[in-house]
Amino acid sequence: MEEQPRDAENTTRAFFKEYMVNRNVEATLDWLMDDVQWIGTGKGEYSCGKEQVLKALDQEFSLDPDAYQIIWEDIKESRLTSDCAVMQGRLTVVRILSDGKNFAMGVRVTSTCVRTAKGFKVASIHASVPADFQEEGEFFPLSFAESVSEEYARRMGRSALELLGKTIPGGMLGTYFEPGFPLYYVNDRMLDCLGYTYEEFSQDSQGMVGNCIHPQDRERVYGVVRDAFGKVRDYGVRYRIRKKNGRYIHVYETGNFAQAEDGRDICLSVVRDISAEVEAEERLKQENREKERQASRYDQLFQSVLCGIMQWKPLDRERVVFKNANRESIRILGYEPEEFWSHGVWQWKELIAEADYQMKLDQLDNLEKAGDSMNFQYRVRQKDGTSCWILGKLEMVEDGDGELIAQSVFLDIDIRKRTEHQNQQLK
């Protein structure tokens, strides 16, 4: 039997080579009729024409210029007339991705080719994928281009997660949202953080991530995740997890929910090792507790000494506000602590006996900067209007905030002064 011409096969092969392998727009169009039709597999049929094909190819090649590999199988050709033939076959399109792995998809192709003055050209193409993959109204090459894009997106997503995992102390963890948190996924970074291989982690945890969570933290973790599943979906929880050496580290887990391939609910999370932060927090707490103890001891000493101690800030020449004053200084002025502190801003006339008022103000005018000091002996004015002699020293200092204040330390010498006065009168 005389061998039949393979015009439809040769034309279709040449078309797909320029289109999928060489990615050449002009050479691809040269194999098409001006009124070429690309027919979808859904309810609608689409007659594209060469102008629409040109726009689609320009857009596709600009987004995806790289070459594919193509493999033909089971090609059959039917000769309708001497000028028209139909080819049917299975085409496998392969793309080698940047990670060295292959993405492949099988396509069923039916093409109709007709003879022109320049040889056979493609008049129509019907390309489809298996029913589970095909979407309504799609026609080749859009369905395949979208599939490759989706595969890229999935792999890029995984790459992005891995990159994220490399930037944080910790890793990524996936568990089924079921009692005990059965293990769904754990990445190498998380295993390295805990000191395990995958087999060791699976064996030690008995396949349950909950077994690695500190017993005192388990119920709280379960509660946080359970509440998030029914409400906000996203969650964050802090807990302790056991390493291979038996030590526990502090981690903070940020996660949300998805569904596994079998339909079971899963928790996907980023787990960050915060042990260094927790240790720093604990050190800070200890330092604060020590400061509080020191402050308490200082306050006890401050309040128990038998001399008056005051720190105050002048508002102007005649007004003053007190920042600190111990019980003895307040007693010398004749007040109870509550009424003294509730007074707020004081006038010097309320605190200095009238006989010594002007002299005292003149002395205060000479104190301008930190380190300036003076010894004093004068009469303060008490709450009931009587006077009381004091003896002490005043110095300008900077407080913890760097603010310039006056600090005075003094003794009650009123009894001594009055005794001296009486003795002078007796003489």
pLDDT of residue 371 exceeding 80, the answer is yes
Q: How confident is the model at residue 133 (pLDDT cuts 50, 70, 90)?
A: very low
Interval 137-162 mean pLDDT: 48
Question: Mean pLDDT across the chain, nearest whole number?
Answer: 84
Any bridge partners for residue 239, and if so which? 251
Rounded to an integer, what distance in angstroms lies between the CA atom of residue 39 and that of residue 42?
9
pLDDT band (50, 70, 90) for residue 41: very low
Q: What does pTM read for this prediction?
A: 0.42
Percent of the chain with pLDDT over 70: 84
Structure tokens at 246: 């038996």
Q: In this structure, is the dihedral angle defined by the CA atoms of residues 311, 314, 315 and 319, taken in order, positive or negative?
A: positive
Average pLDDT score over residue span 205-234: 90
Residue 100, pLDDT score: 63
pLDDT, position 352: 94
Q: Decide if pLDDT at 114 tops 90.
A: yes
pLDDT tens-digit map of 389-410? 999 999 999 987 888 999 999 9
Predicted confidence (pLDDT) per residue in 292-301, tens digit: 888 777 777 6
Which residue type occupies 273?
Answer: D
pLDDT per residue as tens digits for the range 16-26: 999 989 999 99
